[in-house]
Amino acid sequence: MRFRYRKGFGVHSPFVYNLITKVIEEKASFYAFEEIENFREKLLNELNELGRITAKETQSPNYGAFLFRLLNFFRCKSVIQIGSSTGVMSLYLASVSPVQAECYFLEERPLLQEAEAFAVVHHLQKAHFVTGDYKEKLPKIKTLLPKAEMIFINQLPDSMEMEKVLAWVEDFSTPVSIVLVNGIKKKKINSLWQRLKNLPQARVTMDLKVLGIVFFDNKLPKRHYNTHFNYGKKQNLYKNGRRRLHFIGRRKKGAENLSTH
């Protein structure tokens, strides 16, 4: 049952207990959330293509906060995201501080200009937004970021073959990488999820219904968990009216990129 491990009940692994209680179930706000949600709100209020795609594809504030907490908790030093859409979730990852990770956010469509501008204004110096064909861009990123401690597969184009995705994950991963897969109930993504879970280096795996997580740390026992996470609703201003999170905000500078836009 998915609620079996809610709030860590019945979990004997200290690693998984801490993950559930301090990351999955944690509700504390952090400094960056309000600014990112204001950015989302700005995109949605423009009522243009960026706004429509943001409303359709971008996950909820709860989802973004979870990504932030996960990266913050494990102090990953390098992140690569495939399928950034308009970059709202990317900004949650880029904003983790004080140990800001080197982040590469890839999107095939020309949707990242606004997120890139946000990163410059807020001094997110290690956020790199890359637009273009994944097959062309990934080898170039590999020369700059040989390995990634967090790999987030948010969206995949239909043209990307499963074997290439698995080879790419294994190529970029380290012995302690965390791999996140969004949309694991969708047929193609579920197939990828099952393959990732069965990799020899996959140890603890967690099914959060929408998001799947694979931990490659070989110090961990091999075990799978189905657990609950409250994703909340998507922040869609077209239908639900004005909604806002209230947190304290601040941020840093920069962002060189490989983008062709």
Residue 14, C-beta contacts closer than 8 angstroms, at least 6 positions apart = none
In the predicted model, what is the mean pLDDT of the chain? 85
Q: For the ranges 51-60, 78-87, 237-246, which has the lowest average pLDDT?
A: 237-246
Helix (H, G, I), strand (E, B) or coil at 36: helix
Q: How far apart are CA 72 and CA 181, in angstroms?
A: 18
DSSP string of 133-147?
A: -HHHHHHHHHHH-S-
Dihedral of CA atoms 195, 66, 50, 160 in degrees, nearest 10, equals -10
User: Which tokens hold the place of 159?
Assistant: 């043209």
pLDDT attached to residue 169: 95
Q: Which two tokens stand for residue 69?
A: 């907490």
Closest CA to 106 of 121, 89, 120: 89
Separation between Cα atoms, residue 140 and residue 146, nearest integer Å: 10
Position 10 scores a pLDDT of 52
3-state secondary structure of 153: strand
Element (H, E) at 252: none
Calculate mean pLDDT across residues 212-237. Answer: 84
Looking only at the bridges linking them, the beta strands covering 178-182 and 127-131 are unpaired
What's the average model confidence in pLDDT over 51-59?
95
**Bridge partner residues of 78 (DSSP):** 102
Residue 248 — very low, low, confident or very high, per pLDDT cuts 50/70/90? very low
| Reported confidence tier of residue 5, pLDDT bands at 50, 70, 90 | very low
- Residue of 110, 85, 93, 260 whose CA lies nearest to 178: 93
- pLDDT, one tens digit per residue, over 168-214 is 999 999 999 999 999 999 988 999 999 999 999 999 999 999 999 99
